[in-house]
Amino acid sequence: MDYGSKWAIPVVDMDRAVEPDVIGSSRRLWFPPNGKCLVRVTPACAVSRTSVTKSSSGTGPLRLDFYEKTAAQVTAAGVPCVFRKRISEDPYLADHRPEAAAGHPPPM
């Protein structure tokens, strides 16, 4: 990807000023060239079970609260976690680990 000058934007403003690199059902991701990943949790989460799909709006900050606390406990137990810090209500900064996504085990 050609990022050009879009990474001159402060990370706290990136999610409002630049189109995400990946758009998923529950998150939007930006990959600046610094080995980090900016993640914005979407405000609503769609849950599909059997033939019914339900959307729960306003759950983004609550889901991120849970992830932030879980990441702290996992890290304290000595398990590597990509979560680095919460930036505001629903975006957070994480390590970008493409080798983990490709099925390679994380380094210990």
Domains of the chain: 6-101 (3.30.200.20)
Tokens of 16: 């409002």
Mind listing the pLDDT tens digit for each residue in 72-96?
999 999 998 889 999 888 888 998 8
Q: Identify the CA nearest to 94 among candidates 34, 14, 17, 19.
A: 34
Q: Give the N- to C-terminal CA distance of the chain in Å, as an integer.
A: 29
Q: Which helix (H) or strand (E) holds 55?
A: strand 52-56
**Tokens 């630049």, located at residue:** 18
pTM beyond 0.75: no
Average per-residue pLDDT in the chain? Answer: 77
Contacts of 58 (CB under 8 A, 6+ apart): 43, 44
